[in-house]
Amino acid sequence: MANIDKNSQSNLNAALFAVTLDRAAEPALHLQLAGALRTLVLSGSHGGQRLPASRLFAAELSISRLTVTAAYDQLIAEGYLVARQGSGTYIAEHLPHLIAPEPRPVSAPKPARVLPFHPGVPDQAGFPHRAWARHLERAWRAPAAGLLELADPFGWYPLRAAIAAHLAAWRGLDCTAEQVAITGGAWDGLDILRGAGLLRGRRLAMEDPGWPTLHRLVARAGMSPEPLRIDRDGFDPALIPPDISSAIVTPSRHYPTGTAMPLPRRLELLHWAEAEGGLIVEDDYDSEFRYQGQPLPSLAGLDGLRRVVYMGSFSKLLSPGLRIGYLVLPEVHLAAARDYLSVTGARASVLPQPALAEFMASGEFSTHLRRMRRTYARRQAWLLRELAPVGNLLKLTPDAAGMHLCLPLRPELRATDRQVAALASAQGLTVRALSAHAQLPDPPQALLLGYAAFAEEALAVAAKTLIEILHNI
Say what the alpha-carbon torsion angle 302, 308, 314, 316 is, to the nearest 10 degrees: -70
The CA distances from residue 258 to 148, 216, 229, 373, in Å, are 43, 21, 15, 16
pLDDT at residue 294, rounded to an integer: 67
Q: What is the pLDDT along the chain (473 residues), one digit of tens a residue?
A: 445 567 778 888 888 888 888 887 888 889 999 988 888 888 766 788 899 999 999 998 989 999 999 999 999 998 889 999 888 999 888 776 555 556 677 777 877 789 999 999 999 999 999 999 999 999 999 888 888 887 899 999 999 999 999 999 989 899 999 999 999 988 889 989 999 999 888 899 999 999 988 888 888 878 899 999 999 999 999 999 999 999 999 999 999 999 999 999 999 999 999 999 999 999 998 888 998 766 678 999 999 999 999 999 999 999 988 899 999 999 999 999 999 999 988 888 899 999 999 999 999 999 999 999 999 999 999 999 999 999 999 999 999 999 999 999 999 999 999 999 999 999 999 999 999 999 999 999 999 999 999 999 999 999 999 999 999 99
Pairing of strands 203-208, 279-283: unpaired
Residue 401 carries which DSSP code?
B
Please give the CATH number for the structural domain made up of 368-471.
3.90.1150.10
Could you give the CA distance from residue 226 to residue 105 in angstroms, rounded to a whole number? 49
- What's phi and psi for 64, nearest 5 deg? -80, 155
pLDDT at residue 100, rounded to an integer: 53
**Which 3 state secondary structure label does DSSP give 183?**
strand
Residue 441 CB contacts under 8 Å (≥ 6 apart), including other chains: none
Please give the CATH number for the structural domain made up of 6-91.
1.10.10.10
Please give the CATH number for the structural domain made up of 144-363.
3.40.640.10
For 341-346, which contacts have Cβ atoms below 8 Å and span 24 or more sequence positions? 341/153, 341/154, 341/181, 341/192, 341/196, 342/153, 344/153, 344/195, 345/151, 345/153, 346/151, 346/152, 346/153, 346/154, 346/155, 346/182
Query: Taking the CA of residue 111 as centre, how many other CA atoms within 13 Å lie in the half-sphere pointing to its CB?
Result: 4
Domains 144-363 and 368-471 share a fold: no
Pairing of strands 203-208, 224-229: parallel
Q: Residue 10 burial (CB < 10 Å; 0-12/13-18/19+)?
A: exposed
Could you give the CA distance from residue 225 to residue 185 in angstroms, rounded to a whole number? 19
Domain limits, the chain? 6-91, 144-363, 368-471
Q: How many other C-beta atoms lie within 10 A of the C-beta of residue 229? A: 17
- What's phi and psi for 224, nearest 5 deg? -110, 120
Could you give the CA distance from residue 404 to residue 425 in angstroms, rounded to a whole number? 17
Could you give the CA distance from residue 296 to residue 157 in angstroms, rounded to a whole number? 27
Residue 125 carries which DSSP code?
G
- What's the one-letter identity of residue 215? H
Integer-rounded Cα Rg, in Å, for the chain is 31
